[in-house]
Chains A and B, each alone.
Chain A
């Protein structure tokens, strides 16, 4: 039997609402296996809501969310996380009062060896090894984001959802982090990355999807979108 090559994540006509107010008006996107898809758009475009739908935090009011070919309507966020859908949220989502090491140990819930998790994290981010006994809340923004990413990777994700990785970071650090994202993608992990500052992610993406006001307005290869991004962002 040939292996299943259906997209690891596929949204078809997804609508989502907070109460009675709809914020996603029929979103279509697909993340093929082993690819990086950049979801771009200005503030309030619905990018984070899309991530919430993909990770099971928010149920769509219409349309289908397929993960690994299965409609996962009704799946809880912890079911998806245990299977291998990992979300690195906006604002990093680390425990500021725990040390780097303890933060990593918290991610060994899937019966992974804590030493192995640490070794992988420190190999990927040598800076974290130097800070292993330091409280996460006292790390710099870039180091906190490295820790958030390392925590996500500790779960051995098959599908990684990254929300605003570059938020509040210096351009050099952003470049460094996206270098790691490219490396993760090269290892075969499928990635949906949400970014407001598009140019930082276009170099690593295989496809870019632009959202404005809860709708997908453009989809295509990053090269074709790069020049007209500001026009597309602003609905021109």
Chain B
């Protein structure tokens, strides 16, 4: 495999088939540059996640309030035809808000948890590298210490 880097990518050593490939690739790169230049980028909103998490907490509370209000309205009448609007606007809306809020909360809490897990993993790996370094330094010191008397014995 050795020596396959830029050294072997000199134009003089490129066979005609590969050269055609490179010409095609040059077109591809131009196309790529054009497509990147034409990308429609949105401004990233760093605070969006926090707001979605807050929404995940607020929506179920609103849903509970809607259910309580619906119950309060429906309980004021003995007629099902008068209770139905309260069931729809209070009960169904309330349940919908609780489900939507719960889903948002779970989704963004999981994101935070997984992110924490990833950071923990990185932290542990870095600590492992530091421990390996310390171990190597100890081995190096021991080797140096054991080599000194031997060198002295060789001289005598």
Contact = CB atoms under 8 A, between A and B. Distances in A.
Contacts, number: 138
Contacts of B26: 3, 188
A187 B126 contact: no
Interface in A48-76: 49, 59, 61, 67-70, 72-75
Contacts of A204: 1, 4-5
Interface stretch (B58-66, B110-118, B142-150): B110-118
Contact of A18 (B6, B115, B126): B115
A213 B124 CA distance: 11
Interface in B34-75: 35-37, 39, 41-44, 46
B25 interface: yes
B141 interface: no
Interface of B: 1-6, 8-9, 14, 18, 21-22, 25-26, 28-33, 35-37, 39, 41-44, 46, 112, 115-116, 118-119, 121-126, 128-129, 132-133, 136
A19 B33 contact: no
Nearest to A188: B25
Interface of A: 3-4, 8, 18-19, 21, 23, 33-36, 42-46, 49, 59, 61, 67-70, 72-75, 79, 82-84, 156, 158-159, 175, 178-179, 182-183, 185-190, 203-206, 212-213, 222, 234-236
B37 A68 contact: yes
A216 B25 CA distance: 30
A187 B123 CA distance: 39
Given A72-B41, A187-B18, A159 B32 contact: yes
A141 B36 CA distance: 34
Given A21-B119, A72-B41, A83 B32 contact: yes
Given A3-B26, A44-B129, 20 more contacts: A18-B119, A19-B112, A23-B119, A23-B122, A34-B25, A36-B5, A44-B126, A45-B129, A59-B44, A73-B41, A73-B44, A83-B32, A83-B36, A158-B25, A178-B4, A188-B21, A203-B1, A203-B2, A203-B3, A205-B5
